[in-house]
């Protein structure tokens, strides 16, 4: 049974699809595509059906990563469907947990920046209203976080609970 990751931001057109596609890129390089599955979603319904933001696609393409997918909204079934749900910032984290008032799935929800090794940042900043350097910063931060996350997931696959 593959290990399933869900990346979540607000609109699912910048940060979470970037994390999903970066993680897929790293998973392919590690020859683990049959063992780890990724998806992404947004806590809002602002951009349902839209592709990743063109500015984000340019920043990712500069690093050899193609951003694919269409935005969708996070839903309650995602709690059961995924092994780990990764919120891009503390607001997304709180919004996800609000959908789980009994706290049954809290153990599955983590902050993406928990896996960063080269920064002490807690939130992946939303680049949507900023300039192009913000998109580059987010891609670099997510490359770092996804590398750390992949190491942790490899351990989970080797030693399932």
Point out the residues that are catalytic: 9, 15, 126
φ, ψ (nearest 5 deg) of residue 3:
-80, 130
Task: Give the span between the Cα atoms of 123 and 108, in whole angstroms.
Answer: 18
**β-strands 84-87, 3-9 pairing:** parallel
For residue 114, what is the DSSP state? G
Rounded to whole angstroms, how far apart are CA atoms 56 and 61? 8
Going from the C-alpha of 128 to that of each of 12, 17, 31, the distances in angstroms are: 11, 13, 32
Question: What's the CA dihedral at 69, 65, 89, 73 to 10 degrees?
Answer: 0
Q: How far apart are CA 85 and CA 25, in angstroms?
A: 18
């Amino acid at each position: 049974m593959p290990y399933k990751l869900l990346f979540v931001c607000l609109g699912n057109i910048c940060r979470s699809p970037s994390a999903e596609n970066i993680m897929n890129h790293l998973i392919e390089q590690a020859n683990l595509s049959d063992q780890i599955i990724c998806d992404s979603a947004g806590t809002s319904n602002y951009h349902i059906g839209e592709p990743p933001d063109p500015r984000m696609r340019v920043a990712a393409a500069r690093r050899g990563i193609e951003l694919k997918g269409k935005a969708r909204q996070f839903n309650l079934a995602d709690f059961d469907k995924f092994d780990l749900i990764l919120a891009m910032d503390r607001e997304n984290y709180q919004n996800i947990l609000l959908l789980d008032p009994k706290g049954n799935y809290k153990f599955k929800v983590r902050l993406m920046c928990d896996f960063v090794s080269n920064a002490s940042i807690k939130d992946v900043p939303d680049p949507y209203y900023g300039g192009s350097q913000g998109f580059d910063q987010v891609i670099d931060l997510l490359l770092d976080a996804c590398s750390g996350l992949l190491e942790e997931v490899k351990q989970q696959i080797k030693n399932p609970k």
